[in-house]
Structure 1
């Protein structure tokens, strides 16, 4: 027998609607202005939703959920499909690793240039 989670059995995300909205937007690497434009509202309106000063109407809630890859129930109640926030952390780690690798390569290249300059200098002297 297989059991599936639902709104009545899931442990809810205890953040506010605005907090969940902000986290989902961050997980998609979108700015407030980008998401606001995508769903057809002013950036100030979206900022008010994220700070819990107001809440989106049902039609906007569904547009937000679709744009952010989450379910409307997760946005409203913290239960359902949430954003994959680990992707952002994983992406950051990959980028940091690539930057560290590039720094090492840059250093090695600098050393090789110095070696070649010495060879050129010794050839000129000869």
Structure 2
């Protein structure tokens, strides 16, 4: 069963983001977001941003994450190399779970685009109001 998951590349670049791999590795180590953020010296908001793929860590933090989470830097970035074991689910669960992950990623992308659009609209409105609204 693990071979099936390995072949499908649960954490591969095609099926998972950096944030997915970071969260998976953190959970595999039994760490909370708060614990990991404290251990690498960042605010929890920063770590959440990384796990939600809103921001990316700098090179020095990537190296720290790799060491603390016992995964290769290459795996964190691409899903290739030494990483964590993929979740153990039956082969019948995989298509549905993968579809759910893809749907979640699509919604996150739509939300990000909507937030950008909302920001642009707000900026235009503020400009037209001459800065009267804060």
Please say if 1:80 is aligned against 2:93: no
Structure-2 separation of matches of 1:41 and 1:73: 22
1:84 Cα deviation after fit: 3.4
| Structure 2 Cα separation of the partners of residues 64 and 78 of structure 1 | 14
Q: Work out whether residues 27 and 85 of structure 1, in 8 Å CA contact, stay in contact via their aligned partners in 2.
A: no
- The gaps in structure 2 that reach 5 residues or longer are 1-8, 90-134
Aligned equivalent of 1:18: 19
CA distance in 2, matches of 1:77, 1:13: 6
Q: Structure 1 segments of 4 or more deviating over 6 A?
A: none
The root-mean-square deviation of aligned C-alpha atoms, in Å, is 2.0
| C-alpha distance in structure 2 between counterparts of 1:63 and 1:38, whole Å | 9
For 1:123, the equivalent position in structure 2 comes to: none
Task: State how many pairs are aligned.
Answer: 78
Unaligned runs of 5+ in 1: 1-10, 90-126
Counterpart in the other structure of 1:58: 59
